[in-house]
Amino acid sequence: MRDLVADNLTVALGGRPVLAGVSARFRPGEVTAVVGPNGAGKSTLLACLAGLRRPDAGRVSLDGEPILGLAPRQRARRIGFLPQTPEVAWAVDVETLVGLGRTPHSGAHGLSEADHAAVQAALVRTRMTGLARRDVTTLSGGERARALLARVLAGEPSWLLADEPLAGLDPGHQLDAVDLMRAFAAEPGHGVVMTLHDLGVALRLADRVLVLRDGALIADAAPLEALTPAVLERAYGVKAAIVSGAWGPLIELIGRVDD
């Protein structure tokens, strides 16, 4: 029962439904990708799952407890959240940035030995040890993404919720980021939920895919069963075929569906 469960989540913004009764169960050990067209409610769903947004109706529970009932610090220890286009306001060095991930654990008097150990472990995992003293504002896009991921990992959460973690990364860095998230999910009790735009990545690297359209879930299954031509047509209004490439299935875009 270590699952993260969304039960009938409903959110409206200015009269427009953003989430319309979304229910889903996320299990440890899985990397789940949430896909869908722009404005389908992916980010809102993720914010609700992270306990950062109160849904108008429905609820999210973690290990059977309602997530909004947890103290913010307790919630933050269990759920690591990587916002879309994360802001880093000050020119701090990478180690300081990663240390911020320890906020839910640390006391008033700065970081403890255990906190420092977790920071170092996160730097090693993301191969950022050599850049630990570098000013964050001088990092390249890929390095910055790794530093921010290290920040989340340093908090040692059970769940990693990432909003568009691959946006703006080149293919090599995208693969690095996905590898890190897969390795995280492979540890006992850990799970990953991320929103994605790249359907190819979702098809190849996720264990499970959720497809959202206008705030409603239209598919929730293993990648090949979720990303069918019929679902893609409904979600995006595109004609697509799933073809088998030399290394696995590929999505071939054919064109817009004519109205």
Q: Which residues of the chain form contacts with other proteins (CB under 8 A)? A: 47, 50, 52, 71-77, 79-81, 83, 86-93, 96-97, 100-101, 103-104, 106, 108, 110, 151, 155
In the complex, the smallest distance separating the C-beta of residue 221 from other proteins, rounded to whole angstroms, is 29
Q: Are 209 and 26 in contact, with CB atoms under 8 Å apart?
A: no
16-26: strand order across its sheet: 16-26, 4-13, 57-62, 65-66
In the complex, the smallest distance separating the C-beta of residue 75 from other proteins, rounded to whole angstroms, is 6
Name which of 66 and 237 has its Cβ closer to other proteins.
66
In the complex, the smallest distance separating the C-beta of residue 110 from other proteins, rounded to whole angstroms, is 7
Name which of 144 and 208 has its Cβ closer to other proteins.
144
Among the listed residues 231, 224, 149, 207, the one whose alpha carbon sits nearest the alpha carbon of residue 26: 207
In the complex, the smallest distance separating the C-beta of residue 52 from other proteins, rounded to whole angstroms, is 5
SS3 55: coil
**DSSP, residue by residue, 229-256:** HHHHHHHHSEEEEEEEETTEEEEEEEEE
CA 154, CA 99: separation in Å to the nearest integer?
7
Name which of 27 and 73 has its Cβ closer to other proteins.
73
Name which of 36 and 104 has its Cβ closer to other proteins.
104
In the complex, the smallest distance separating the C-beta of residue 103 from other proteins, rounded to whole angstroms, is 4
Among the listed residues 189, 194, 217, 197, the one whose alpha carbon sits nearest the alpha carbon of residue 207: 194
Name which of 155 and 223 has its Cβ closer to other proteins.
155
Tokens of 30: 């899985």
Buried b (16+ CB within 10 A) or exposed e, 1-17: ebebbbbebbbeeeeee
In the complex, the smallest distance separating the C-beta of residue 80 from other proteins, rounded to whole angstroms, is 8
| Residues counted in the chain | 259
Name which of 75 and 213 has its Cβ closer to other proteins.
75
Q: Are 185 and 193 in contact, with CB atoms under 8 Å apart?
A: no
